[in-house]
Structure 1
Amino acid sequence: MKRVDFEKHLKNNGCKTKREGANHSIWQNMLTQAVSAVPRHRELDNNLCKAICKQLGVALPKKY
């Protein structure tokens, strides 16, 4: 899945960028306060997207 599409999915599910690291963006779910790192690659593996969604407590993307 493309990172841009995945970030749109996170934004639509109540998550925001908490801070930017050197190689990762740190995202936070504003409802549950859960935090997860999203690597800055053009393509993200579907299993990685699934794990990040699980950590943040959001639904899987429909394109999954």
Structure 2
Amino acid sequence: MPRLPRMTSQELIRHLQRAGWRVVRHPGSHAILRHPSRAGRLVVPVHAGNIIKPKIMARMLDKAGIARHLAREME
């Protein structure tokens, strides 16, 4: 299994927005994103400049429908 890219929450949100996800609200330390053609929501922890941990990143990519091998291209 390929290693996931290291990125901050702001970088991840930017990549998810390019994939069609939209920030619907940003209450406190988490951003809530929705996709127009996918059911459910994606919750991204936003902690100033901290790198998202690999397990959390993997879970979010799976829920977003982005294959892990394609995530390497996000760097």
Relative to the length of structure 2, the TM-score reads 0.68
Between the aligned partners of 2:11 and 2:30, the Cα distance in structure 1 is: 16
Q: Secondary structure at the match of 1:38?
A: strand
Alpha-carbon RMSD across the aligned residues, in angstroms, is 1.9
1:16-50 superposed Cα distances (whole Å, 9 cap, x missing partner): 10111122110112221320211112221122111
1:22 aligned onto 2:23: no
Q: List runs of 5+ in structure 1 lacking aligned partners.
A: none
Q: Determine if contact 2:10/2:46 at 8 Å carries over to the other structure.
A: no
Q: Secondary structure at the match of 2:38?
A: coil
Richer in helix (by share): 2
Greater Rg over alpha carbons, structure: 2
Q: List runs of 5+ in structure 2 lacking aligned partners.
A: 1-6
Between the aligned partners of 1:32 and 1:48, the Cα distance in structure 2 is: 20
Q: Percent identity?
A: 19
Of 33, 52, 55, 1:47 maps to 55
Relative to the length of structure 1, the TM-score reads 0.77
